[in-house]
Amino acid sequence: MTTAVIGYAGMTHLGLNSAVAAAEKGFETVCYDADSRHIAQLARNELSIVEPDLSELLGKNIERIKFTTDLSQLKPCDLVYIASDVLTDDLGKSDLEPISTLIAEVATGLRPDAVMVVLSQVPPGFTRGSFREDRQLYYQVETLIFGQAIQRALHPERFIVGCADPHEPLPPAFAQYLESFDCPILPMRYESAELAKISINVCLVASVSVANTMAELCESIGADWSEIVPSLKLDRRIGQYSYLAPGLGIGGGNLERDLATVCNLADQNGTDAGVVRAWIANSHHRRDWVLRSLYLEVLSKTDNPIIAVLGLAYKQDTDSTKNSPSIALLDHLQSFQVRVFDPVVPASIVTNPRCHGAESEYEACEGADVLAVMTPWSQFKELDLHEVAKAMRGRVVLDPYGVFDSEQCGDAGLSHHTLGVGASGIGTLA
């Protein structure tokens, strides 16, 4: 058969990275979005998102990619992915109306034999509720991780595919595309695939919650969590790829949304989700680690303190601030003078009226009584800690992710506080 033409409806973070990966695999790709300004920017390789390697791969494959605001341009496609954002409210409930509308709009313009695949994450029951006998509709579990999106799209561990009937073979164009990635393909009923994505995220939350709980104990009893982790990685029941790094709760939006979905489904069906609610409570407790440390070490002891904050993104290699621990912290510091620096996120997004956006890490540290490293950007690891110490007025460094080396902090005369180990440092200034 001829090589399939792949379409994407919704140039979101997910849609764009997936489309570029398809082009990199050699497929002609049509990318639709209703936002004409966004489409024009993408056609010029002007990205509104931060993602390593994305710009380079888009430029490399630009001849295989057609960007359009015209739904009729999806007509030649053998396979069209629905990749719009699914927004959630404060309770984690998904707003499904926009994606339902997009599915209906795209369906009207496709060939009868064209395949539609919902790539956006939706709750169990959505895809079957959208199924029509006259349309081949599937659900595919996305593998998006901010900061690793293009690599994940190019090298998936497996494809989880929700089907109206998992015993029926996949349509040829769909099978051709998935098989080009040379990874396992797992067909299953719609509801199983939708819940598989949530199950993966719940397992990740379990690992994070274990790490946070035990790391907090380490901080209190004199143990070091980083010394314990290798023993867990070598246990086959846990494994070398386990996510065991402690953090400031659950960042981003997907994990919290899925925990809320599990709680809602449990309430609707009379099942128990007590452990999930405990994980949510643990996440909220751990997110305030920096705030508690700030009050204990500085705010309770210093009049009119100046606070330096490095990092606004919820994690490195992305400009996303959704559920960012840094933003949550700054919301609590409205009455204090704060200097902020992030390599990609502008300080203008911060609502704190006393927050000043610095041009560099060292400028942020000028005269500061305490430094909080809220995002583990790799460039922060290269800072000269003696220069940091000289710039600061105080000695306290709150570094939850362990970006700085504790011994080097001590050599620079800084008191280093990190997750999973008690405070260290305060040597003599060189």
At residue 135, the pLDDT reads 81
* CA–CA dist 130, 229 (Å, integer): 44
Q: How many Cβ atoms sit within 10 Å of the Cβ of residue 192? A: 17
Going by C-alpha positions, the residue among 413, 381, 135, 343 that lies closest to residue 425 is 413
* CA–CA dist 170, 188 (Å, integer): 11
At residue 426, the pLDDT reads 47
At residue 427, the pLDDT reads 39
At residue 88, the pLDDT reads 79
CB 372 within 8 A of CB 307: yes
pLDDT along the chain (430 residues), means of 10: 92 96 97 96 92 94 96 96 87 86 93 95 93 87 91 96 96 97 97 95 91 91 92 93 87 79 91 92 92 94 95 92 91 94 94 91 97 96 97 96 94 95 50
**In this structure, is the dihedral angle defined by the CA atoms of residues 350, 354, 360 and 366, taken in order, positive or negative?**
negative
Residue recorded with tokens 């006393």 = 354
Query: Which pTM value belongs to this model?
Result: 0.84
At residue 430, the pLDDT reads 31
Give every CB contact of residue 73 below 8 A, 6+ residues apart in sequence: 30, 32, 66
The angle formed by the CA atoms of residues 84, 89 and 93, to the nearest 5 degrees, is 80
At residue 218, the pLDDT reads 92
Here the contacts of 276-279 (C-beta below 8 Å, separation 24 or greater) are 276/202, 276/205, 278/209, 279/205, 279/206, 279/209
Residue ranges and CATH numbers for the domains of the chain are 6-183 (3.40.50.720), 198-286 (1.10.1040.10), 288-425 (3.40.50.720)
At residue 423, the pLDDT reads 56
CB 156 within 8 A of CB 179: no
Going by C-alpha positions, the residue among 127, 117, 120 that lies closest to residue 175 is 117
At residue 352, the pLDDT reads 82
At residue 252, the pLDDT reads 64
